[in-house]
Amino acid sequence: MTTEHNDATGATADAAVASSGATQWWRDAVIYQVYPRSFADGNGDGMGDLPGIRARLPYLRDLGVDAVWLSPFYSSPQADAGYDVADYRVIDPAFGTLADAEAVIHDAHALGLRIIVDVVPNHCSDQHAWFRQALDEGPGSTLRERFHFRKGRGENGELPPNDWESVFGGPAWTRVADGEWYLHLFAPEQPDFNWDSPAVQDEFRSILRFWLDLGVDGFRIDVAHGLVKAPGLPDMGRTDQLKLLGNQVLPFFDQDGVHAIYRSWRKVLDEYAGERIGVAEAWTPSTDRTALYLRPDELHQAFNFHYLNTGWDAAGLRAVIDASLDAMRPVGAPTTWVLSNHDVVRHRTRLGGGERRARAAALLMLALPGSAYVYQGEELGLPEVTDLPDEVRQDPAFFRGDGQDGLRDGCRVPIPWSGDTAPYGFGTGGSWLPQPPEWARLSVAAQTGDPASVLELYRTALKLRREHPGLGAGDAVEWLDAPEGVLAFRRPGGFVCVVNTTAEPVRAPAEPSWRLLLASSDLLTVDDELTIPADTAVWWDA
């Protein structure tokens, strides 16, 4: 069997960690995303909340994750499911109280779990006190300098200041009663902050300290690539602005000025004991651009959307794995791997191939070096809900036409916990989005103890990931020779992962001495040879 190395010259990040005495838990952490309104309802109003999350923390500990990332639960009119924040230091009553948030943090720590919370610095709610005051005070107000207010174009200022379009569709500008326009890269209810304003910079450092003082272990930074706009807010000059992952440079995303902000934030994080981290939601044109957010004096992790957007294709997956590891190595940052989240179609549906392929994709992700993210319900094998009636949808993109796909509600349907009928133990008062009848067999209770279930596959994989010396942190894989359509790689400590992405079984490249650790589906013996079926991943101790 021949091998090819993913080059890892020089001192590795792991060696640097060992010499420093720091644990740097985030380098190999499995982080579980909780979307609060859809996780667990503690008060029976049909909406998930902080007490519901608190009650289910033991489930997450037993699942085997290291940290929990909570999507926004701050005071908000909920124009964009909490990503329109009215007050960053107040809990929205729909989710509970500040005491509930403190209890979640305390209980999580007692269970050995870390807590990461969302921070939304690109924009706020149009009900934020600053924005309301800016509207009341009118043109020339110093409060307007904290946002992007501009005079319009045209003879009477009746045209937007430039040709930018909202990510949710339609113009990125809304005109107010006094004739000025304000910028919102998302919904009109989400005015963008102007990060040239010292007041904005000071406020967010204060917000970080508020939550760090309460004990959170880090922040997931929403739209981390969007805070700084090109000077003068120049026109795009064309209308296809939503191709965010192309090679073009967008005047409102991934501007170099964002890095000074994150160097400032890193200083705040480093003031606190316990290795507090920053995680960038940064949609960038390349893995090399993503790596810029993770230089040693900036953030700790960034979501690997290039991996998420790769289809079920061995060559494409190998290329993005190599590119991701190669990009992160020079900055000493771990690579992250993610299959699903609250903004994209669940990977069981998106990748095609149903549960079988989703199981294989999970084992591949968890075998790669670095940190992995699991979106709630992914461990249950939940598919995307594609047939929600229009009248129950709440995604603002759905109501604005051509922005994104307008169908993010399908991955946000509340998860099933137990029982034969909806809401399947989610709460006692129904659920804010309807759950499919077939989810009864996918509930936590239905899958627990069933060795063939997706849930038990995740539990076993996460346990092995903790125990096996070849899994977790690292910055390289050693590719093994394999047939076309098959990924095979070795990790330190004698760990080997083989993934068959083809539609046909292939001979398992296993040596007699290898010990089978886990397979996403049953292996076959054909003509006395061990065979890996289609859409199957296998872990060996070699």
CA distances to 162, 471, 522, 539, 542 from 512, rounded to whole Å, are 66, 22, 18, 14, 9
Q: Taking Cα atoms as reference points, which of 473, 491, 476 lies closest to residue 325? A: 476
8 A C-beta contact, residue 26 and residue 505: no
Task: Give catalytic status of residue 222 as yes or no.
Answer: yes
Cα angle vertex 227, ends 222, 233, to 5°? 140
Residue found by looking up tokens 């996403």 in the block = 520
8 A C-beta contact, residue 173 and residue 184: yes
Q: Taking Cα atoms as reference points, which of 476, 527, 518 lies closest to residue 499? A: 518
The catalytically annotated residue of 271, 450, 481, 504 is 271
Under 8 Å CB-to-CB from 512, ≥6 apart: which residues?
none
8 A C-beta contact, residue 113 and residue 61: yes
| Token pair of 76 as six digits | 């908000």
The catalytically annotated residue of 222, 298, 326, 475 is 222
| Token pair of 286 as six digits | 């390349």
Rounded CA-CA distance 277/71 in Å is 16
Please state the φ and ψ torsions of residue 509, each to the nearest 5 degrees: -80, 45
Residue found by looking up tokens 């591949």 in the block = 364
Q: Which secondary structure element, helix H or strand E, spans residue 3, and what is its range?
A: strand 3-5
Please state the φ and ψ torsions of residue 376, each to the nearest 5 degrees: -50, 135
HEC string for 27-84: HCCEEEEECHHHCCCCCCCCCCCHHHHHHHHHHHHHHCCCEEEECCCEECCCCCCCCC
E strands of 269-320, at which residues?
A: 277-280, 301-302
CA distances to 322, 335, 384, 476 from 327, rounded to whole Å, are 8, 9, 32, 11
Residue found by looking up tokens 């160097």 in the block = 263
- The residue count for the chain: 542
8 A C-beta contact, residue 378 and residue 346: yes
Task: Give catalytic status of residue 271 as yes or no.
Answer: yes
Q: Count the neighbouring beta carbons within 10 Å of the beta carbon of residue 257.
A: 13
Torsion angle (degrees, nearest 10) of CA 13, 16, 21, 23 = 0
Rounded CA-CA distance 225/180 in Å is 26
Which residues are the active-site residues?
222, 271
